[in-house]
Amino acid sequence: MLFKVKTIFTLLNSPIFGEAYTIAWGNRKSIINNANKMMDFLNHSPFEFIMQHQDSDLEKLSSFVHRTFNGYDFMQFIKSLQHIYKEHNGLEAVFTKHVEPNSLQQSIHEFKKIFFEVPHLERTKKHVSDPLKNSAAKRINMFLRWMIRKDNNGVDFGIWNSLSPSQLSCPLDVHSGNVARKLGILKRKQNDGKALAELDLALRKLDPTDPVKYDFALFGLGVFEGF
């Protein structure tokens, strides 16, 4: 499913890929259908639409909805992504600027601040997580894994070159969290920012250069094997 979602976005280095992770929750069929709808709304030229749109072009997006992410959130993302690409040299530059040696969590925090530098709807802020407010930031960490980690099997594309897989954090969810607890590498019961820090420490002991490679086993054992 993850591969199908990603292949919908033909321009992986365009800002629309930042919206792919945002709707990557819920029913798989719904995710793929709504990702296709996003592409339809953006005329299958997402980068051009985001960078060149006029306010009048955004009106057609108002009918979009994926769970609690609605058309007005979609419009806000278009405006914020345009701002990041015009004023901050793109998403990769934003995350790179504030990176720490073994963590991208500060970078995610700074990304959210930059994302909402432009006039914005207060409701849309809930769709961008902040790990410094104790969020596990699952979908952003998943997005960063796609962009940074290189994988010979094509699961992760690794198209960003200025950041390292060693700085990534596991996209912690109910499945990976439950399996990690059963394996004794996670004690905290909530899947929050503190749990992510605990899991990070354990996975970095196993492989400091590529700690999130274990995400596939943790998630797979939970969702497919019922471990």
Model pLDDT for residues 84-139, shown as the tens digit of each residue: 999 999 999 999 999 999 999 999 999 999 999 999 999 999 999 999 999 999 99
Domain final position from 141, 163, 185? 163
Say if residue 104 is in the same domain as residue 21: yes
Verify that 48 and 127 share a domain, yes or no: yes
Separation of alpha carbons 99 and 138, rounded Å: 18
| One-letter amino acid for residue 16 of the chain | I
Element housing 178 (H / E) = helix 174-182
At 5, the pLDDT band (50, 70, 90 cuts) reads very low
Q: Tens of pLDDT along 10-69?
A: 344 445 555 555 666 667 788 888 888 998 999 888 889 999 999 999 999 999 999 889
Q: Are residues 97 and 200 in the same domain?
A: no
Long-range contacts of 176-182 (CB under 8 A, 24+ apart): 176/215, 176/218, 176/219, 176/222, 178/222, 179/217, 179/218, 179/219, 179/221, 179/222, 179/227, 180/218, 182/227
**Of residues 12 and 176, more confidently modeled:** 176
- Mean pLDDT over residues 158-177, rounded? 95
Judge whether residue 213 has pLDDT over 60: yes
Q: Which two tokens stand for residue 203?
A: 């996975």
**Domain boundary pick from 114, 148, 163:** 163
Pairwise pLDDT comparison (92 vs 155), residue with the higher score: 92
Rounded-to-integer distance, Cα 196 and Cα 103, Å: 11
Q: Does 142 share its domain with 217?
A: no
Angstrom distance (rounded) from CA 57 to CA 34: 19
Task: Report the domain count for the chain.
Answer: 2
pLDDT of residue 69: 92
pLDDT of residue 153: 80
9 has pLDDT over 50: no
The predicted structure's pLDDT at residue 27 = 72
Of 130, 163, 196, the residue at which a domain comes to its end is 163
pLDDT of 224: 65
What residues make up the domain containing 204?
170-227
